[in-house]
Amino acid sequence: MSSSSLSVQMDEVRRRAQAVLSSTGVAQDVKTHVQTMASIALPLSEKYRHLTAEDMLRENSASRSKQEVLESLSRLVKALGILEKYGCNLTFPNRPKYWRSVKHNNPVFRTTVDAIKGGRRVLFLYGYTNQQIDGLSFPDEVVQPDSEKVAAVTLEVMTLRTEVDMIVKGTHPHLEHFKDIFPFLEQQESVVNDLVVIPPVEEQPGDKPQVISPSPIPAPGPVGQPLQPSAGSPAACNVCGCPSSLVCPSCESPAFCDACDALFHRHPSRAAHKRDKIQKIKLETCGICGVSTVQSQCSTCNQRLCLNCDKLFHSHPDRKGHNRSVLAAAKTASLSLSPWACARCTTVNEMRAVLCSTCERPRLSTAASSAQDSPVPTSPNTEWQCKSCTVMNQGSSILCEVCERPRLATRPPVAPVPSSCGSQSDTNTKWTCQFCTYVNTKPTGVCEMCSLPCKDSPGDSVPQSLQQPPSITKDQTQPAAVKPTASPRVNLELKRQKMMREDGLSLINQIREAEKQDVSPEEVYAALCVCGGSNVNPCDWLTSELPHLLDEICAMAASVQLNRKTGDSGTQAVVDRDREETAESEPSATVEDVKLSRAEAKLAWLAAGGDTDRAVTQLLRDRQAKMRELHSLGFRDVTQCEEALRLSGGEVKGALSLLQRPLLEPFHQRIWTTQLEPPIDPQNPDKQRMCRRLLALYDLPSWGRCELVLALLQEPEVTYSLEDVVQAVKESHDKDFIRRLLKNECPCCLCIFPRCKMQSLTSCQCSVCHECFGQHFTVAVRDKHIRDMVCPVCGEPDINVPEQLDSYFSTLDIQLRDCLEPEVYDLFHKKLTEHALMKDPKFLWCCHCISGFINDGDQLKVTCPSCRKSFCTQCKKPWEPQHQNLSCEQFQQWKRENDPEYQRQGLAGYLRDNGITCPHCRFQYDLTKGGCMHFCCSQCRYQFCSGCNNPYHKTGCKTPQCSIPGLHAHHPRDCLFYLRDWEPPRLQALLQKSGVEFNTDPSTGTQTDTCGVMEQKDEGAEHSDSPCGLKTQPGQAGLCERHYREYLVSLINAHSVDPALQYDTVELVRACERYQVDAQRGENEDDNTFHARLLQNLSEVPLGEKVPRNK
């Protein structure tokens, strides 16, 4: 493929892999893409855009030998793996907690990334550009890493690691791009064409070495690639040029490697294509070892062997004259250096690999072995039986413990050897098992020893390679027929094998029965050594006779020791020699003074294999070693040491505990005394004593920290306590930093406290003392709303933001649990529950009392469970019988026409009925909307505009192109916020133009001198509801001018009248700019045309969506 097409392919694979990695952050998801990028034949300068791969490879392999270069590349692979994990952590959606910094003192970082050259440059590309004392970190202004760039750099790190790993393993498909960096890649193995002489082990005088003629072999490939046959080799991959393993007939038979096949056939139109694996030529293995490749062939004995087996097999004097020939070069790549191809998935693996890296099958397993062999145990702990030697191996082992053949390897081929004429009669009755070499006497198809079938015909199945043909001289003549005779040696061997088999099975059965009774195999074996000649069960003997035997062993050992001390030679000379070393330091004793335990005697008896005399010797040796150990620890009283060993069952640790207990008794008495310890005095001249007490009482990490505590307490004008200083010293060793921890001013009470006695919320960085924290939230819970429970210093967080509300109260609940009184904490939970219930759309506030409840019905009439009064669920008005079967609008119209009390109140009652309703909790207030438009609900503390119901924002809002930082709201053009500045005649003109009727005269019987509309007023620090009280004006229906404007605006909102009809040109331009509507005046455009066009454009902008429009 051309360089341009490879570059296009590289860009496409890089783009897909970068998109996947930046979204998931999982390296396994882009493993196939990385393998494809590593296999593309492009120079390093074109393949790597961010990393300087050539410089990194040169710096880590400059002026070294081949072995040192390979070791440094292995370290580079490990370091790149760690850098890959750093990049994946930055692109992962849930990044680790400490992703912003990389510490140099991290042992993994120090031994991997810091051990190579260029590792910190990769971290710089990730974004770790801020140099610190102990490492690298992201700059403070960086909120989150650049996922796109980090993913791109991480992909290049993964690709470089894959390429370097392939170079180390010798499987890289394009080594020509690395020859300038690694000169040893240009070296190739030379082909040896000389004749090879295989001399015998012991060459007789006059014998000449046999010359083996080499056969033609294919030339070896480049270094690092496996040897391939000259004919029938698979074609290269049609995409990346690597060795192919699959062919697709549906795509006109192009060849693909595994990675490119997964990418190319991922497309839905090619997902159903059936691909065929390319069959590769499998090398024949040696006929003896079954592991190495066949390199020699003997035409005399018809054997195909490797060089080692051929040299060993033909070293026999009878096989010196055999004619052999070499099938492969004498210096071909050895099995320890050349890679091998898996027979099932065709993956090329390292020679030292036992299992395939792709399908995890053993090296010698065939492609069809899964169907022929027995199923593989699914559990790794299941034992498995070797198919060559029948040994049961542990489930975790890969190779057989005896023959060292792989777990799934098939049995090595063994050719049947025709029996000689002299043993023709024996072959009809005897045959040797090819698995366990047991000689079977019956002509059955199953071995009597291992119970495995014999696949060959009955007969002596010893491999031909191990048979020694009889040497025939010229003087000797072969007899025509010799009658076979029974060999007594064979009969003795059969008898021995049968006896061994029976004894082994009997011992196994006895051990299994003993394990059921918690008896160890060692005890069974020792018991059989004692009572093996009788028919007594070993388990029964251990229960009944072993205690008496152990007492006898203890008595014998005590007697031997007493005889040694009194000068008698005793019965054991060996024991005397062992005890002579310490004889001078021990006083004389009687038999009663020597104290030995049954536990010690049992251990010695088991170690001696059931031999009583050896057990006595071993018991005395063990006791003497334990006594010497106790003597070295300072305990020289022999009687106390022996008694302690007897009570502890011979355990040194237990005896040491018993011996130390009396020594520690005074210390224990002093610890548990009722006398109090004197307090730690920093001015005490005995500084070491004070430091030791600090270490014992406060668990300080070092002696230096204790001295630092004393130094801080000795400073003049110290006001903090010892506990506060100890807590601060545990956090740091910097004296200035500790002083800052100990001196923190509470912003509420302005007192000085240590940091450990300050408390802060999770929503801000403010810290207050514990007392102020508890008092603030106690007052807030008792006297204020749940939304007033914010930081007493900065007022954070903004409770109106729903996203912050739930998380804030969940953490606040944990903090208030320990600082509030139980009854206050219960009240907090009650208010928190009511606040949560208000979010339910079925939750209703009673208009008669302050209670709230859940209404599951769908009727208009509902009764409060607290005050037992009824009201309407829609208009929240007290329920009246006339409301039955009438809508809320029809009921309001009926009251205006028929209710005398409502008629007497006039427009004041109308404004009261059309009062303020909280858009958040739907709580209704019988108040007018005049005055300040900023309204705060007393139930949920929601802040909104009473004219349009839009929320008020304390800080910046999310509205596009809004730059107002303080308190503000966004009002539509028909909101009372703008229309309250219009004069009543202008509002009346707007209503008249729209055909809406309005009142100018007061109702009959209403008060006309002062306005009686109820409104919320600020009186000190509290809000109260009271009449307006301003004087009325003629022609304004008995209301003050402000409330009359509110009445007219309510009619405008109720009939959805657009106030833009009364706008002049300046107001139209200002409104268009507010709504971001085009307000530019056209060329030669007169005033009327410009006014009409602006009005048309503004009329396309809808009126306020939340403006109350009650009629």
What residues act catalytically?
932
Q: Of 674, 658, 533, 537, which is closest to residue 595 (Cα–Cα)? A: 658
Q: With beta carbons less than 8 A apart as the criterion, state whether 39 and 173 touch.
A: yes
Between CA 128 and CA 83 the distance in angstroms is: 12
E strand intervals along 705-754? 744-745, 752-753
Check: CB of residue 262 under 8 Å from CB of residue 272: no
- Reported as type and span, the H/E element at residue 348 is strand 348-349
Instruction: Look up tokens 């070293």; give the residue.
Output: 315
For residues 258 and 248, give the distance between their C-alpha atoms in angstroms, rounded to a whole number. 12
Contact indicator for 40, 9 with CB cutoff of 8 Å: yes
Other C-beta atoms lying within 10 Å of the C-beta of residue 291: 17
Q: Could you tell me the two tokens for 928?
A: 């007018």
Q: Decide: helix, strand or coil at residue 692.
A: helix
Taking the alpha carbons at both ends of the chain, their separation in whole angstroms is: 79
Beta strand spans in 789-864 (E): 843-845, 852-854, 861-863
- Cα 906 from Cα 903, distance rounded (Å): 5
For residues 1099 and 1058, the answer to whether their CB atoms sit within 8 Å is: yes
* Cα-based distances in Å from 422 to 418, 428, 479: 12, 13, 9
Distance CA 42, CA 1 (A): 11
CB under 8 Å to 222, separation ≥6 — which residues? 175, 185, 188
Give the residue among 732, 781, 780 at the shortest CA–CA distance from 756.
732
Tell me how far apart the alpha carbons of residues 933 and 978 are, in angstroms, rounded to a whole number: 11
Quote the distance between the C-alpha of residue 577 and its chain's center: 62
Q: Where are the beta strands (DSSP E) in 995-1097?
A: 1014-1019, 1022-1027
DSSP for 869-920?
A: -EEETTT-PBP-GGGTTS-HHHHHHHHHHH-HHHHHHTHHHHHHHT-EE-TT
CB 1038 within 8 A of CB 906: yes
To the nearest 10°, the Cα dihedral for 904, 908, 910, 916?
Answer: -150
The string of DSSP codes covering 606-658 is: HHTTT-HHHHHHHHHHHHHHHHHHHHHTT---HHHHHHHHHHTTT-HHHHHHH
Q: Please give the DSSP secondary-structure letter assigned to residue 992.
A: H
Helix, strand and coil in the chain, % to nearest 5: 40, 10, 50
Query: What are the backbone dihedrals phi and psi of residue 432, each rounded to the nearest 5 degrees, phi first?
Result: -95, 130
Which residues touch 487 (CB under 8 Å, ≥6 apart)?
Answer: none
Tell me the sheet residues that pair with 334: none
Q: What does the alpha-carbon distance between residue 24 and residue 990 come to, in Å, rounded to a whole number? A: 60
